[in-house]
Amino acid sequence: MIDDAVIDDGRAGSVVGDLMTEAPAGAPARATSGLLRVAMDRHRLVNLTGPLGSGKSWLVSHLSPARVVDLSRVDATEAVRAALAEPTTRPLVLDGADGPEALAALEHARLPRETAAVPLLLVSRRSLLAQPGWTLSGAAVLETAPWSDDRIARLAAGAQLADPAARDLVVRMAGGNPLIAGAACRALHAGASPDAPGAVADQVVQEITERLARERPARGWQRALDKLATVWGGDRELLGEGRELFDTLGRLSLVTRTELGLTVLEPFRAVFEQAHRWRQPAAHQGIRSRAHTRRRRQLAAEASVVRRGRLAEGTMALMDDTVVRETLFPASASDGAIQTATPGDADDIGGLMHQWARQGGMDTRRTERLVERWLHDDPAGFRMARDGDGRAVGVMGLVRVADRTVGSMEPLLQQHTDRLMGGQRARSLVLGAAYCPERGLHARLLRDLLHHVMANSLLLTVSTPNPHYQQLLTSLRFHQHGTTTDDVYRCGRKPEIYSQDFGHDGIAEWVGRLTLGAAAGGPSATGRDVGEALAHLTDPAWLADSPLLRSPGTQTTEDLRKALRDGVRALADSDTVEDAEAGQILLHYYLGRRQTHQQLARRLHMSRATYFRRLRHGLDLLGQRLAAG
């Protein structure tokens, strides 16, 4: 049991101002113990909401002498009626308003009562305003905020994790959620190694699933939830689930709806995906491969530029690249909003850019002069990241290319200016800085930029001295143009210049490069199609959409299945050593018993590098033979 002193946020006794001014317009107020008391003093009906395991019950425990009714109990309806009828002015807390049975037990609490009004607090994972019958209830909604990494680290220390690697894993996996942090601590104490995050995540997922059973007792959704977390966002066709199960997934409090379908909220998505990869590596690889293929096809047929940008984002989310995953899709709730800067944000911009310069070892005076020029030439060029309380916590410095902004742009691009901007001035944007210490909001800030440039078919050019961003842009297959002549920020590192054209054809070309897999040595497009077809050899519906059906002699799915099997066996029997080794890999991996690439490489006594060279060679060669008939 974690001691309360470890998890106290230090704000429980704070004096709180007006309830409705604590949060940005349209957002629920952020819950603290003090704000919760103020809300219950001012409103008859208050809804404390927040994700599973976000600390709602802990906040409620500080409301003594409140009465608490757990809505998960068998006689919840009778208990609620009895509590409402008690002749007392003590606050009443109805905890666990999740799932159909708990909501049914709340029916009497929703309607005005003849008895004297007492403060009534309803605790739920989703806002009750989203439930039928509650939208016009007048409930004041407060939402829990994610815990900071420092606070999660204190929790791990309080759980007596002495190993720094173990504590670091808890912080990264928790993403601000204390339930995940506690479950990860228990998994590590039970013997799981911090070097095996998938094993830790698997035990965490078991605890989450048990808690979710209150919302949907039937367990048919668990397998589908693993698949959904693995593909980042998915519709019914991608998940391959029936309407009833898909609707059940959508009702879970961890799931929300996006343009790509349903998606699991962070940090839960990352935990489920990590556990699925560890528990079922072949199934994990198969569903990701299917998602890659489907999104490429959707992108090729999609006319809407905005929709193409969303599909491209979904493709990035499937990349098996640590830098991309941790920077753009971290296991962290993106609690806040991204907004265009206004003239009143000048001081915040200056302060945040000062922090950015200090963090990167840059000359702060030089940076301040550059920022002043950006603000003068393009006042609307900055984007702000605001946390759940509306505070500016991140900034992105952009320069819209035009005649008036040449003075701001030239120091960033120097000798590359004319070549990159020639003929592109009307549709170019230059990124000069991006800073936000909160992981989730930082990821949203960067993805917001990519959505903007794709939606407007812009050419994005990035000038950065930051080695991490340089590695990210390399992983994203941006075109590299070299460094500037001068060390612009006086930090000992010259900025490197990268660009990517996000015009209509440019998006498709870029996504094609992203899906190659390896940075420089992935199989050809036809080779990838062969690998995906082999992975789905027993699925006629999937094979029916394969582009390989256009090859000579493969007019039907049965033709394709036979051609692939015969081709693999012929390759394995080749007199050429390289071809035969490639054929043996394809034969064992795709047509034999399930095993991972690593297991098969050991079995065939090949180094990892040789194994993957032979695998790519086999897929490409088989693709060439199919194309030749």
The rounded Cα 330 to chain-centroid distance in angstroms is: 6
Q: Which pLDDT score, from 0 to 100, does residue 217 have?
A: 74
Q: Which pLDDT score, from 0 to 100, does residue 152 have?
A: 94
Report whether the peptide linkage leading into residue 467 is cis, meaning its omega lies within 30 degrees of zero: no
Residue 469: strand, helix, or coil? helix
Q: Which pLDDT score, from 0 to 100, does residue 207 have?
A: 95
Mean pLDDT per 10-residue segment, the chain (629 residues): 33 32 50 83 89 89 83 89 86 88 82 61 92 86 90 95 94 94 96 94 95 81 93 91 91 92 95 95 86 85 86 89 90 86 90 91 90 84 88 90 78 80 69 89 92 88 90 87 88 89 80 58 65 85 78 80 92 85 92 82 85 86 78
> What radius of gyration, in Å, describes the C-alpha atoms of the chain?
27
User: Which residues sit opposite 95 in a β-bridge?
Assistant: 70, 123
Q: Which pLDDT score, from 0 to 100, does residue 422 have?
A: 65
Q: What is the dihedral of CA 26, 30, 33, 34, to 10 degrees?
A: -60
- Can you give the pTM of this predicted structure? 0.75
Q: At how many degrees (to 10) do helices 197-212 and 178-189 cross?
A: 130
Q: Which pLDDT score, from 0 to 100, does residue 516 have?
A: 52
297: left (phi over 0), alpha (psi -120 to 50) or beta: alpha
Q: Which pLDDT score, from 0 to 100, does residue 305 have?
A: 83
Q: Which pLDDT score, from 0 to 100, does residue 141 have?
A: 92
Burial class (CB in 10 A: 0-12, 13-18, 19+), 65: exposed
Q: Which pLDDT score, from 0 to 100, does residue 384 have?
A: 93
Return d(Cα 29, Cα 36) in angstroms, integer: 10
**How many CB atoms neighbour CB 354 within 10 A?**
16
pLDDT in tens, 241-286: 889 999 999 999 999 999 889 999 999 999 999 999 999 988 888 8
Q: Enter the tokens of residue 97.
A: 């308003």
User: Which residues sit opposite 109 in a β-bridge?
Assistant: none
Q: Comparing C-alpha atoms, which of 316, 331, 319 is closest to residue 201?
A: 331
User: Which residues sit opposite 394 in a β-bridge?
Assistant: 385
